[in-house]
A and B are shown apart, each in its own frame.
Chain A
Amino acid sequence: MNALLPVLILMTSFLPAIATFFLPQRAFASRNALNLGGAVLKLSLVAYMLWRVSEGDAFEARLSLAPGLYLLLRVDELALLFITLSAFLWLITTIYAIAYLADSPNQSRFFGFFSLCVSATTGVAMSGSLVTFFIFYELLTLSTWPLVIHKQNKDSIAAGVSYLRYALPGSAALLVAIVWLESATGPIQFTQHADLRLLDDTSLKIIFALFIGGLGVKAALIPLHGWLPGAMAAPAPVSSLLHAVAVVKAGAFGIVRVIYDVFGVDLVRELGVGLPLAVLASATILWGAIRALQQDEIKKRLAYSTVSQVSYIVLGAALAGPLAAIGALAHLVHQGLMKITLFFCAGIYAERAGIKRIDALNGIGPLMPWTSASFTLGAMGMIGLPPMAGFVSKMYLGRGALEMGQLWVLGVLAGSTLLNAAYFLPLIWRIWFAQAPAELTVIYQSRVANLALIGPAVIAASAALAAGLLAAAPFSPLDWATLIVTRNYTP
């Protein structure tokens, strides 16, 4: 049973993905049933595993691919944090996507790759060894590409090209790092700390830099973030999932794994590579926020906001202290919930009222109260206002930085708070206070409210609220992050 579950959970999204490819465009009912069924099944399995792992169990499966090459799937506390997030968001995004794409062409292709992308994310989360991680990481790159270019217009093709241009050298760097490391130490599993001391300091530093370079593309660290704003050309559900959980989080999650399970906190500290990474992450936080401030399109602003916010995770991981690690891991979930809310809402604004630019948001609040309320909650969370989840992340990151004696990080957090306020509050002001132009009301009234679009946004916003308001309750993201750190990373 313990070996079966990880495979089963991978299959809950992989099998629907494969099956969906063979369905004709018109097979709405069976396609939706397959994907939703898979998502619900996955979520129940995850719930069961959450309970078991909290009791101290772990699940492991080893699938042999070729002699000497095997996939190691392992569900530990950290993996489960990421899987739970992706399973939950997959379910609500699927509901949203079904409604969003209602009459658009190529749906089987879309949902097939969509589910495949989720399987890859799950695989990344469950990877128990570096090689397994690399395989799923690449599968993720390949399965998201068709989603980015799904609309097949000029913008999305260009975005797709740019995505590959960034992703493939990243993969190459990652591969070099893995091969170099494993040629000295043998296969590396995350649970057994390999003796990296077989390599000299300089090599280890270069390998670390290669890891960060490879993973930093997906995590959108500057200057490797260029692909992300362009990838906005994808349909809203894709942007939502890419930004909240799949791609950027796979990068951030990989960095956490590399720091904590490949190198180990002690070695990172000895090599002195944590601080430069923390500085890079801080620069990304501030730079992303400044660039967000300069955008006029809602989705572009949100994209740069992602660049900024994901680096909170990297920053917390790089600080390599217990409280900062808790903050980083909690933010992995928090940022996902808040950002998916914002993207859902941006998609609804575009779909229902044709609003894509920030100055077109004027007065939409009273017309679309549920969407706008969700958007407001998400934005408040990004600023880090209590009781939203973002506040909890900031609290732990700040305390973690002080614990490690890095006072300057507080300045970064404060600067980011102010910049976040500067780029989100004007939107909220426009939504609720500005006078709506007359034609907006006309456009708005000509379309119907769609519960399947609004529902996921409201659910995600409520989850982001609950994650902060009930942070101290059992099974909250914060509680789980604390569990991870106390069980695995506290000496």
Chain B
Amino acid sequence: MMGVQGPPLPLIALAWPLLLGLLALVPGVRGMALRLLVLAPLPALAYAATGVAGEATQVPWLLLGVTLAADRPAMLLLGLTAALWLAAAIYAQAYLAKSKNLPAFSAFWCLTLAGNIGVFLTADVASFYLAFAAVSLAPYFLVVHERTPKAMRAGQIYIMLAILGEASLLMGFLIGAGAADSLLIGDIRAALLTAPLGNLAIGLLVLGFGLKVGLMPLHVWLPLAHPAAPLPASAVLSGAIVKAGVIGLILFLPVGAVGWGQALIGAGLVGAYAGVALGLTQTNPKTILAYSTISQMGLIVAAVGASIIGSLGAEAVAFQAFHHGLAKGALFLSVGLLAACGRGHFWPVLVMTGLVAASIAGMPLNGGALAKAAVKPGFEGYALTALALSGFGSALLMARFLWVAARKGQTSRIAPPALMLLPWLALVAGALVGPWLLWSAWIGQDYGKLLVVDTLWQAAWPALAGIVVAIAAAVFRLRRPKIPEGDIVIWLEPLAARFASVVMQMRVPKMATVSRARVTRLQARLAAIETGLLRWQIAGLAALLLALLVAA
């Protein structure tokens, strides 16, 4: 009864970061808490490399009965997540060495990591919900780590929306579990398609997961929170943590819910373009990257929509997300790297950053182009055109990022620390080359089709056009409109504050209390009646006596 059935490694992969997180708080270990972060993702990485997709580990006594299993898309994203967290942890060794509050930061880093691993490994809804809560709520502590007013505000908006998302997901899960009469995610997905309340449940799930992936207009927290966190945390937030929402959509939304698939395609593509437009107005390189994440996640959500319609395999979506995770992680880390570079290293680092940026824009021959080629077959009509042209916007936004990031660098002559350079290099290589290595195994096509001139040109021209426009904008000094980080959040904040104050001041209806005066009056009346009664008693007694006398 109390055992574990199946391979123990998935359970270890989940428990290990939690253990290290607790260890980080133990007095003797607190001083080296940061070091533990490097160890935390190792078992998960090992499982992603050696695990068999679909095999299940069961822990019947834990929670409501835990089942761990990852199918192929989840396994790929698990590998991405573990690798990115590892790279960010190594980077943090140098970047955060002098930071304050490191034990707490490390503990919540590990908790978030465990949740992030968990969403890919869990196959029952209770443990998925637990993992999702961890990966949604624990990053709050990473966002507010620097305790600046800006970070605190970002954290507050983040946590409020995260809680809202949790409540929405819980309701969706409950309806699903009720419809399926099972806690297994596979059963729930199957039941949602035909259940009477299925559409309500799917809507709630889209709301909850949409918040996580930054689906427009649920994105407002993302441009605030991702830049506010320290760089290594921003990298995992934008690269890996948002993928928790992607896997949620893939795992729970039933293939065949065509209406929902189309809605996701539409919302995703709108987000892809709106993210670019809003990002172009920003001046902070990290905020620009956050908007780029919104844009890229829009494309991924659109691909999820295609997979729900049934025109695309979930493997292709995972493949696309895999590339984005590595590339976005590398871009975030490059912000700190460029700032730490002396003249000797600046240009090589900037050029390689440019390559990753080009990959995000889907320029031919690098990982991003493959990612786009992988999902293209799932689209048709306007959606296909919109997807193909998205490279234009991405290139424009990436050019803006490079421009802003390059201006911030070149302050010193020193070489960047190896602990920052090496993990960054690994991510750059992963983003550019990784998709090539996985292409035939994951997409099931040979490489030949990728190298046809026509295909290359189709991928290249929107991005090239973007670059041309970007250069033109720089030459002609186009003015950018001023839009605050988080755009529409500035309208939502006063609304939320107003709502809160209404609730806080809600009047208590006065209970029907009997007033003191009325009590006194009542007492007086009772007393009078009693006095009367007494008189009657006396009178009665007298009458009785009289009667007795008469009778006698």
Contacts and interface: CB of A to CB of B under 8 A. Distances in A.
Interface stretch (B233-241, B319-327, B464-472, B500-508): B500-508
Interface in B60-98: 60-65
A417 B504 contact: no
A266 interface: no
Size range of the chain B interface in the assembly: 35 or more
B171 A472 contact: no
Interface in A362-407: 384-387, 391-392, 394-395, 398-399, 402-403, 407
A181 interface: no
Interface stretch (B161-169, B213-221, B434-442): B161-169
Contact of B504 (A294, A403, A421, A469): A294
A291 interface: yes
B63 A472 contact: yes
Given A223-B511, A386-B126, A418 B167 contact: yes
B182 to A, nearest CB: 11
Interface stretch (B172-180, B248-256, B263-271, B451-459): B172-180
Interface in A444-491: 468-474, 478
Contact of B1 (A392, A407, A433, A474): A474
B174 A395 contact: yes
A226 B179 CA distance: 40
A232 interface: no
A331 B168 CA distance: 22
Looking at B129, B167, B171, the one whose CB has the most chain A CB atoms below 10 A away is B167
Given A386-B126, A410-B175, A425-B159, A472 B503 contact: no
B483 interface: no
Given A294-B506, A395-B126, A418 B163 contact: yes
B130 interface: yes
Given A417-B167, A472-B62, A473-B61, A407 B174 contact: no
Interface string B2-23: 1000000000000000000000
Interface in A202-260: 223, 226
Contact of A471 (B63, B147, B503, B505): B63
B388 interface: no
A83 interface: no
Contacts of B159: 425
Contact of B178 (A293, A294, A402): A402
A398 B170 contact: yes
Interface SS, A side: helix
B36 interface: no
A392 B64 contact: yes
Nearest to A474: B1
A402 B506 contact: no
A471 B62 CA distance: 7
B197 interface: yes
B234 to A, nearest CB: 20
B137 interface: yes
Nearest to B175: A402
A247 B500 CA distance: 33
Contacts of A293: 503-504
A395 B504 contact: no
B511 A469 contact: no
Nearest to B104: A432
Contacts of A392: 64
A433 B163 contact: no
Nearest to B131: A386
B171 A468 contact: no
A290 interface: yes
B171 A414 contact: yes
A413 interface: yes
A307 to B, nearest CB: 13
B420 interface: no
Looking at A421, A422, A474, the one whose CB has the most chain B CB atoms below 10 A away is A421
Contacts of B2: 473
A16 B509 CA distance: 44
Contact of A387 (B61, B130, B147): B130
A399 B130 contact: no
Contacts of A469: 62-63
Contacts of B130: 386-387, 391
A399 B174 CA distance: 6
Contacts of A410: 171, 174-175
B64 A399 contact: no
Contact of B62 (A385, A403, A470): A470
A489 B61 CA distance: 24
Contacts of A417: 163, 166-167, 170
A75 to B, nearest CB: 26
A402 to B, nearest CB: 4
A433 B144 contact: yes
Nearest to B505: A294
Interface in B95-133: 126, 129-130, 133
Contacts of A294: 504-506
Interface in B164-207: 164, 166-168, 170-171, 174-175, 177-179, 197
B291 to A, nearest CB: 28
Contacts of B167: 414, 417-418
A414 B62 contact: no
Contacts of A403: 178
B476 to A, nearest CB: 47
A391 to B, nearest CB: 8
A472 B129 CA distance: 16
Interface in B269-304: none
A268 B452 CA distance: 74
Nearest to A476: B61
Given A417-B167, A470-B62, A386 B197 contact: no
Nearest to A432: B104
Nearest to A226: B511
A407 B197 contact: yes
A431 to B, nearest CB: 13
B171 A413 contact: yes
A428 to B, nearest CB: 10
Given A386-B63, A392-B64, A474-B1, A399 B178 contact: yes
B170 A290 contact: no
A472 B61 contact: yes
Contacts of A422: 500
A401 B51 CA distance: 39
Nearest to B506: A290
Contact of B65 (A291, A387, A407, A472): A472
Smallest CB-CB A-B distances: 4 pairs: A402-B178, A398-B174, A386-B130, A473-B61
19 contacts: A291-B508, A293-B503, A384-B170, A386-B63, A387-B63, A387-B130, A391-B126, A394-B170, A398-B170, A399-B177, A402-B178, A417-B163, A417-B166, A417-B170, A425-B159, A470-B61, A470-B63, A472-B64, A473-B61
Given A294-B505, A387-B63, 9 more contacts: A223-B511, A226-B511, A294-B506, A387-B130, A391-B130, A402-B175, A417-B163, A417-B167, A422-B500
